[in-house]
A and B are shown apart, each in its own frame.
Chain A
């Protein structure tokens, strides 16, 4: 058998790709799914917490509302502190094995989604709060002045603007998650790092295997950083606008770029 074994670095790379390429791709797929789902739910958690944290509390409010809100805030504060303040790897082991200890059996997939989501959520909560605070208070006042309540103001006016401002941070979190899902190998989630380790276990070719792993991680992160840049641009919206007018002379004045699509310009 030894006679058929590759001899150079590049031959080893080809050999590993040939024999373990599909497993490595599977691992990368798992990594991506966990990172994407985790980032998505992390953002949802972050937005919810950010919204709750910015509920205005006036002196004249009912005592019960004050107490409930204060307790909720305290719980959220503890959540953020605990999950930002401990390593995700430790949390993974703690939650996965801890849950079976108290009689809840988690599948590995669920545990992986859960851990990455709440971890991202803890970071996103602060990011979203910052994003909300960065929006001029005039926007809130404008929304209140036409009769919007807190949730309507948030959903229609503040969060869309905050989202645009925190897009770079969401991108950061996604990229961090793509990389940091490797800590889930601690609870034997078969993601890219776990697969790579298994491959090295067969031939002890660490350098060759992890060269491939490095490149795969890099491709994933670079692809998503580009994609998020593009999404950011899209959120910013167009720089120009079409004049909407019934005045037919406007068409000859060159002010309208698409005279043929008059109806469209009014949308």
Chain B
């Protein structure tokens, strides 16, 4: 655990109709943490992340951001989301805008930053992810890995306190996975607080400060990467990881 507690999730549950997707989830994120959430498809990892960003409304439980519950009615949800960035599996870049405009639009419209300042900030982050030559390209003209790097720059430009990654490499070709992961590795080293849902086990093992293994809507086991990957305590975790080693 590094610094101050930013995010705390208490007894979070999510149901879609009668289908319980998340049950009694508890965990917290401190500044500088890089938390990887691993688990089989359908175990509720993505739903959990979407609940944190309120793209899904939790059925019950609390999401505390700096100690304040944001699931309540009085929360200014857009203002909260501006502080919590999100990178999606399918990039979700605005297809009507260039790479640069994708990064500046939030700065200008949401944070009310002046055009030129927004442009400078956006250029800085696009450069950081190695996309500065492509600022004039529209998303449809970019490859998957390039799109995802622009999406990361877009999220970073908002200066989020915590950045959520929802399977950022799952829609990419194997060769493109590397370029996105290396950007994420750099960010982790720079101390950005990240919450990452991923199937990249090697990445989770090397980069994260904390690993959460989810199974069937509950947190089955959590701990340091060494603990989870080298010496898992639960049989389910062992089974899940052994599938990855063999595959």
Which residue from chain A places its CB closest to the CB of B94 in the assembled complex? A157
- Are A138 and B92 within 8 A (Cβ)? yes
Partner of B78, one of A58, A147, A157, A160: A147
Interface majority SS (helix, strand, loop, mixed), chain A: loop
Partner of A147, one of B57, B79, B135: B79
Q: Which residues of B contact A245 (CB under 8 A)?
A: 132-133
Residues A135-153 near B (CB distance < 8 A): 138-139, 141-149, 152
- Are A266 and B155 within 8 A (Cβ)? no
Q: Which bracket fits the contact residues of A?
A: 20 to 34
Q: What distance in Å separates the Cβ of B121 from its nearest Cβ neighbour in chain A? A: 13
In the bound assembly, the distance between CA atoms of A157 and B83 in angstroms comes to 20
- A147/B106 contact (C-beta < 8 A), A157-B94, A161-B96, A241-B141 known: yes
In the bound assembly, the distance between CA atoms of A266 and B119 in angstroms comes to 11
In the bound assembly, the distance between CA atoms of A145 and B109 in angstroms comes to 13
- A147/B133 contact (C-beta < 8 A), A60-B57, A138-B90, A241-B98 known: no
- A145/B94 contact (C-beta < 8 A), A156-B105, A237-B138, A241-B136 known: no
- Are B155 and A58 within 8 A (Cβ)? no
Residues B56-89 near A (CB distance < 8 A): 57, 73, 78-83, 85-86, 88
Q: Which residues of A contact B151 (CB under 8 A)?
A: 142
In the bound assembly, the distance between CA atoms of A60 and B91 in angstroms comes to 28
- A145/B110 contact (C-beta < 8 A), A161-B96, A164-B96, A241-B98 known: no
In the bound assembly, the distance between CA atoms of A59 and B133 in angstroms comes to 45
Partner of B86, one of A61, A145, A160, A241: A145
Q: Which residues of A contact B34 (CB under 8 A)?
A: none
Residue B158 CB within 8 A of the other chain = yes
Q: Which residues of B contact A160 (CB under 8 A)?
A: 96
- Are A144 and B55 within 8 A (Cβ)? yes
Partner of A141, one of B82, B83, B92, B158: B92
- A156/B136 contact (C-beta < 8 A), A141-B88, A145-B53 known: no
Q: Which residues of B contact A141 (CB under 8 A)?
A: 55, 88, 92
In the bound assembly, the distance between CA atoms of A147 and B78 in angstroms comes to 4
Q: Which residues of B contact A218 (CB under 8 A)?
A: none
Q: Which residues of B contact A157 (CB under 8 A)?
A: 94, 96, 105
Q: What distance in Å separates the Cβ of B60 from its nearest Cβ neighbour in chain A? A: 12
- Are B106 and A146 within 8 A (Cβ)? yes
- Are B94 and A144 within 8 A (Cβ)? no
Q: Which residues of A contact B14 (CB under 8 A)?
A: none
- A145/B155 contact (C-beta < 8 A), A60-B73, A244-B136, A245-B133 known: yes
In the bound assembly, the distance between CA atoms of A156 and B92 in angstroms comes to 14
- Are A244 and B132 within 8 A (Cβ)? yes
- Are B81 and A145 within 8 A (Cβ)? yes
- A58/B81 contact (C-beta < 8 A), A145-B155, A241-B138, A265-B136 known: no
Residue B154 CB within 8 A of the other chain = yes
Residue B95 CB within 8 A of the other chain = yes
In the bound assembly, the distance between CA atoms of A62 and B72 in angstroms comes to 11
- A147/B105 contact (C-beta < 8 A), A237-B138, A241-B138 known: no
- A244/B133 contact (C-beta < 8 A), A138-B90, A142-B94, A144-B55 known: yes
Q: What distance in Å separates the Cβ of B149 from its nearest Cβ neighbour in chain A? A: 15
- Are A145 and B55 within 8 A (Cβ)? yes
Q: Which residues of B contact A250 (CB under 8 A)?
A: 133
- Are A161 and B57 within 8 A (Cβ)? no
Q: What distance in Å separates the Cβ of A254 from its nearest Cβ neighbour in chain B? A: 14
Which residue from chain B places its CB closest to the CB of A237 in the assembled complex? B138
- Are A147 and B158 within 8 A (Cβ)? yes
Q: Which residues of B contact A81 (CB under 8 A)?
A: none
Q: Which residues of A contact B229 (CB under 8 A)?
A: none
Q: List 26 A-B contacts (CB under 8 A).
A: A58-B57, A62-B73, A139-B92, A139-B95, A142-B93, A142-B94, A144-B81, A147-B83, A147-B106, A147-B110, A147-B158, A149-B78, A152-B78, A156-B109, A157-B96, A157-B105, A164-B96, A241-B136, A241-B141, A244-B134, A244-B135, A245-B132, A245-B133, A250-B133, A265-B136, A266-B136
In the A-B complex, the 6 residue pairs with the smallest Cβ-Cβ separation, listed nearest first, are A147-B82, A142-B92, A146-B106, A145-B86, A138-B92, A147-B110
Q: A148-B78, A241-B141, A245-B133 are in contact. List 18 more A-B contacts (CB 8 A).
A: A61-B73, A138-B90, A138-B91, A138-B92, A141-B55, A145-B81, A146-B81, A147-B78, A147-B82, A152-B109, A152-B110, A160-B96, A241-B138, A244-B133, A244-B135, A250-B133, A266-B136, A267-B136
Residues of A within 8 A of B (CB): 58-62, 138-139, 141-149, 152, 156-157, 160-161, 164, 237, 240-245, 250, 265-267
